[in-house]
Homo-oligomer: A and B are copies of this chain.
Amino acid sequence: MADRKTVSDIETASKEKNDAQTKQSVVDEQQGVVSGQTVTPDGPIMNIQVGENEKRVQPIQLGERLKELRLSQNLTLEEASQRTGLARSTLSKIENEQISPTFQALQKLAAGLGLDIPQIFAPPEEGPEANGRRDITRDGAGKPHPTTTYEHELLAVDISRKKMMPFKCTVRARRFEDFDGWVRHEGEEFLLVLTGAIAVYTEFYEPVTLKEGDSMYYDARMGHCLVSVSDTDAQVLWVTAP
């Protein structure tokens, strides 16, 4: 019964603040920047590589790239000609940068080589070779990163350009009101409760309690925040994939 009252109080607070909070959260996200390192309100985003990737897809030489693609499929100009419906001489001239193909020709090329057009501009696949990257973080030896609501311990900080960013987090927040508003960011997040218990507030669901061993996966663009509801501050593992 007492639990019921508590939950209903939390729900009311959640609804009243939805609009104002969403506006403020943009400012709060800016404050997360620490010494040149972008930080999501939950934890850090280390090395957002999107901009760099986009820069890198610009090909230096279209002809060179197309020749590469043709040869990687072990095709002669004649075979490629039959597949693409473009004349051999045209393919030769394109590959040797003698002409600039029309978009229509590019479409034919892509279709004939079994590609989508953006793939023509993609960098070569990294290759099947293992690159051997590894980073071990001992218990308690992660990089500290405190905020007002969470006490983060960043893991695997020596590896840059990771697909995932893991961190342990001690949830100091005790009330939804400890947050200035919904926190949100790009990507998806997974969280596992390591010790204690938390109440999870998310923008489109009623709050839910998770205890040790429980986990949750969610789209991080949805407003979200955690509150400790156990005697001792809960500890969770958080993994972000931006």
Residues of A within 8 A of B (CB): 54-55, 57-58, 62, 100-106, 116-119, 121-122, 128-140, 155-156, 159, 162-164, 166, 184, 187-188, 190, 192, 194, 202-205, 208, 210-219, 221-223, 237, 239, 241
Given contacts A136-B215, A192-B237, 15 further A-B contacts (CB under 8 A): A55-B116, A58-B117, A103-B106, A118-B121, A131-B221, A132-B203, A132-B222, A133-B219, A133-B222, A134-B219, A137-B216, A138-B214, A139-B212, A140-B213, A166-B239
Please, which residue of chain B has its CB at the minimum distance from the CB of A57?
B118
Q: A235 to chain B: closest CB distance in Å?
A: 10
Contacts of A214 in B (CB 8 A): 136-139
Q: Chain B CB within 10 Å — which of A106, A156, A163 has the most?
A: A163
Partner of A219, one of B106, B118, B131, B210: B131
Contacts of A118 in B (CB 8 A): 54, 57, 118, 121-122
A116–B164 CB distance below 8 A: no
CB within 8 Å for A58 and B222 given contacts A164-B190, A214-B138: no
- Cα of A42 to Cα of B237 in the assembled complex, Å: 20
Please, which residue of chain B has its CB at the minimum distance from the CB of A126?
B221
CB within 8 Å for A130 and B219 given contacts A101-B103, A237-B192: yes
Contacts of A222 in B (CB 8 A): 130-134
A130–B54 CB distance below 8 A: no
Contacts of A129 in B (CB 8 A): 221
B216–A187 CB distance below 8 A: no
Please, which residue of chain B has its CB at the minimum distance from the CB of A203?
B130
Q: List 13 A-B contacts (CB under 8 A).
A: A58-B117, A100-B102, A102-B102, A117-B121, A131-B219, A131-B221, A131-B222, A135-B218, A136-B210, A156-B217, A164-B188, A164-B217, A241-B241
Contacts of A58 in B (CB 8 A): 116-117
Partner of A134, one of B103, B104, B205: B205
Please, which residue of chain B has its CB at the minimum distance from the CB of A222?
B130
